[in-house]
Amino acid sequence: MLNPVYQEFVNDVDQVSTAMQNAQLEVSSGLQMRNVSDMPDQVSELLQARANLSSSQQISTNLVNVTSEVNAGEQAVSSAVTLFDQVQTIAAEGATGTQTASSRAALAQNLQSILQQMVGLANTSIDGRYIFSGDSDQTQPYTYDASQPDPVSSYNGSASTRVVQGADGTTFPVALTAQQIFDSSDPTTNVFSSINALITSLNNNDQAGIQTEQNGLSTVASYLNQQLAFYGTTQDTLQSATTFAQNQQTQLQTQISNLQDANETSAIMQMTQDETQEQAALSSEAEMPRQTLFSFLG
């Protein structure tokens, strides 16, 4: 059994050596919490912060994906608004008394081309998904058949119930359906039917009918602009949600770093101090008097 003085010396050296090893591990790993046992009182907080960070990062990924879709939707509806401006111009031209049956028929052909382009916009797809088909995004919303009196088919999609969640927990809708945008149940705001009715009046050389259809186009145009405004507002909301998520992730990463990362400067200083203490202890031990059997015999 060791002399109590020597036992105390050994214990002290072991403590210094352990502290020095811990400091060395902090410097080499960059972490002050490497195991649950290192800082048990902070483990729960660290795990929760990591879970929150993972959730926020997933939300950011979702927001990026949805932003691409919303931008495509905004671009499509914006193009539709521009096309409808052309419809109004053609209607005004066709309503003038100087037009002939043949010239109005030519205007009707131009409108047929515009109507087909409108259907193309309604069928906009991104990555194999029809973004205006509601929840049935694998189904093309409309087909176009110029041989039919009403060339635009009925809506083949479904309602849109999709919402996206922001990092603050709020949710908001991100899409309208082609039926809402182009094929309103209200005939005074229906883009497809207003264009088709104008085509019919032009082909019939019906000046009164053309004038009637022209008078209703401003209401349709206003409605179409409202649908465009939805996408503009959604773009702003997505940008705010993305910024919020990015700021949240920065805060969480800082929190995690404070909980688990080592203070390298402090760890190096501690390691140097421990090495000095260990060397001093060993030097002192070497100078300690040692008793042998001869000491007692003398």
- At 131-173, the pLDDT tens digits run 999 999 999 999 999 999 999 999 999 999 999 999 999 999 9
Query: By percentage, how much of the chain surpasses pLDDT 90?
Result: 66
Give tens-digit pLDDT for 55-95: 999 999 999 999 999 999 999 999 999 999 999 999 999 99
pLDDT, average across residues 115-141:
97
**C-alpha gyration radius of the chain:** 38
| Among 179, 163, 182, CA closest to 87 | 182
pTM: 0.74
- pLDDT-derived band at 280 (thresholds 50, 70, 90) equals low
Report whether pLDDT(264) > 90: no
Query: Which amino acid appears at position 96 of this protein?
Result: T
Average pLDDT, integer, range 242-268: 80
Q: What is the pLDDT of residue 110?
A: 97
Give the residue-averaged pLDDT of 187-213: 97
Going by pLDDT thresholds of 50, 70 and 90, the confidence category of residue 260 is confident
The residue whose two tokens read 């991104």 is 126
Confidence bin at 296 (pLDDT 50/70/90)? very low
pLDDT at site 274: 54
Band (pLDDT 50/70/90 cuts) for residue 44 is confident
pLDDT of 106 above 50: yes
Span 202-226, mean pLDDT?
A: 97
- pLDDT confidence of residue 36: 46
pLDDT digits (tens, 9 = 90+) for 180-191: 999 999 999 999
- Cα dihedral value 142, 227, 127, 192, nearest 10: 20
**Which pLDDT band holds residue 24 (cuts at 50, 70, 90)?**
low
Please give the pLDDT value at position 71: 97
Q: What is the pLDDT of residue 46?
A: 84
How far is the C-alpha of 164 from the C-alpha of 63, rounded, in Å? 7
Fill in the amino acid letter for 34: R
Q: Using CA of residue 211, residue 76, residue 161, residue 135, what is the dihedral sign?
A: positive
